[in-house]
Structure 1
Amino acid sequence: MQVAEMFRPVLGEQAPVAIRAYDGSRSSPSGASPVATVDVRSETALAYLASSPNSLGLARAYVSGHLDVEGDIYEALTALGELTVSDVTPATLVRMAARLAPLRFRHRVAPPPEEHRQHGRRHSKDRDSEAIEHHYDVSNRFYEMVLGPSMAYTCAVYPSATATLEDAQFTKHALVAEKLRLEPGMRLLDVGCGWGQMAMHAAEHHGVRALGVTLSRDQAHWAQKEVARRGLGDLVEIRHGDYRDVTEGEFDAVSSIGLTEHIGRRNIPGYFRFLYGKLRTGGRLLNHCITRPDAHHRAHADPFIDRYVFPDGELLPVGWLISRMNAAGFEIRHEENLREHYSRTLAGWSANLEANWDECVAEAGEGRARVWRLYMPACQVGFDLNNIQLHQVLGVKLGPDARSGFPLRPAY
């Protein structure tokens, strides 16, 4: 069986994706113009599939450059949609297995160097630090080119369909500040603060004293310099460390933007109890995180995402998270799903990557750049298809009088 024809049943006879292979074979979709072409460049691509016949094998082939996509990757992934090998007939699977099996012995291949395997106890401080270092301590310059001037690596909030990525990131920070009711003189704890943009926004626009904590050494160094450049040193501290090591308390507000995905199901109850304990009576928590839409979608990340992007990432249903947040003592006051906004955010980051491709490759290496070129459109499709969501949940720590301090109808 020719290589291109071997792939066609897996992708689907009607899938509008063409296939071109190193053996000279080609396959075009029946009844549709192709939106992209999958280029199987060498036998090594098949060897990766033989060793891991799933998304991890395909990702290894792509990251290493032995498999490529000509055309828009987002359009290609959208066209393939929810297709799985379960749609392939048993006879086809047998023929494919027979073709690929010898490659595992004849052509052994090591994973690309960008692949990461975790060590130690899951979600221990050392292992969490290792996971964060893998993804974030790559190159601040690389992130500047991809994320843009906002340096915000979390879902933006688009005030309109024509808003820029920078406008949307500012709107996100403003929305969080509004939900937390930040006012001059208040104290904010921002856990998993990234490059410190929420902490700096709170200080610059609301006169808040903010402590941001990140496990990434590179993020902390960048943010500390930016705090000094903006003249915010009297209001903002960026600390390199684990949020669990914060000893201060009696904060007026806590923001957790993009951290919960890294906590792990087993540790979530303790995580919310810890944040509850950091707040004064009447203080608010805004928890912003990626979730799965229901308990039927898998909690652990896809193998490609786990090895190449977010090691040990774990997504949980928003209802489950709200229950644990409530059990920790919080009264839940507001919740909203922003998944369409994350799709737009990812599209903006992908556009930045393409616009700065050569410089991104020079800064972080071609393999790393290809990881991003694949994972961002894949996640964008996930949000579009409602395989993943993004929720903001707002809670308050009530006092003995049970007064929440919320207006009858908040503007947001």
Structure 2
Amino acid sequence: MVSALSRSNPKLVFIDGESFIMMNRIVKECVPTIQFIFSVKKCEDCPSFWSLLKKTKEIDIENGGSVNDAVMYISTSGTTGKPKDIILTSANMVSILTISRIAHRHSRKDVLLMVLPLFRGGGFMFSFMCLDQGATLVVENSTPVRHVLQSIDKRKATLMIAVPNFLYQMAKCAHTTHYDTSSLNRMICGAAPMPKYVADLAVKVFGATIIQSYGLSECMKITSGLDPDCPQTSVGTLNCNIMLKVIDLQTRKELGTLGKGELCVKAPQLMKGYLDQPGKTAQCIDSDGWFHTGDYGYYDSHGYVYVIDRITDLIQCGQAKLAPQEFDNILLSQHKIADAAVVGVPHEELGEVPVAFVVKKDANLTEEDILHHISDKMYLHNLLRGRICFIKEIPRAGYTKVQRKQLRESRLSDNIL
């Protein structure tokens, strides 16, 4: 938090009541630009957000600036390095909300349950979508699966935003609980590729429509899986006013249908750049305006887009590029495994080989059980023999992204988590 506040140098901050002491210390020691602190909850030590609203007067904003002026900064998760602040403009915001009205149309009767952090792109986007369309937003601060199921029952949520891993945990937990989730009619899933077994289980348990969505904080709402014929392994088709191409990782030349490479997009919601980091901006937005997403994927002849994995996570094993996310999904389909993640580590002959980190659901699970489960995947079976590590928890960022770098470093240092 201190880092984000120091980079943006705000004059005013909004907090919940419990954060006042910490924020007051930050103001005095680290971020002197902050002049006002308002609490959205009752707090004896600082004025409330509601008192600020009462003092607000109407102002003329007809000549308030350009559509390309910055209106918001969003911090990245920092999984590939230090967090960066994304600059969003007025034009970006209009585009995001316009696409949301088309791709995710809601009524005032809809109740959206939010478990994503609001300071990330997905949480921010869907909270503004509710404000724009008049739907009710319920922010769930507690992330244990049972608490979320209880909130669906209590609030009669009609829509939920989730990531595949969390959706899978919810579906498995719902089997053994008495909570009523029948109000759910749609579940929007993003942040990672959706395994078929997760979608199948979620539909069976909740009876809701699963809508896949793809985007990044730098460029939100790239695709939506609204078409009922959309394959479960696809993130859908492009939203309006968006262009996409796939380029070869080595030659950087554009590929055609089914060609696998880096996904690049042009869109009106594409960020203006990274705050005070023109070099980082130039690395991902080229001179022709194409944003290089860092995601590895392809599109088919029907225009459906498929995201396989992050390029930085691909395992270069001999001449083959292996996608750890695909391996994760194979392992997670074993009913005795609670969670799993695969990373690449250096190998003298092959360059890199996969190593699997597994969290047991059944204490009696053995390496042989796992190898038997993947016996029909001979390439994976042979590569993982002797390379399976049992750990207590898979490290993740913001409930979603596996911290593969942390896992890789723990393997290399033999400091297994």
TM-score by length of 2: 0.29
The structure, 1 or 2, with the larger RCO (C-alpha pairs under 8 Å, 6+ apart) is 1
Structure with the bigger percentage of helix: 1
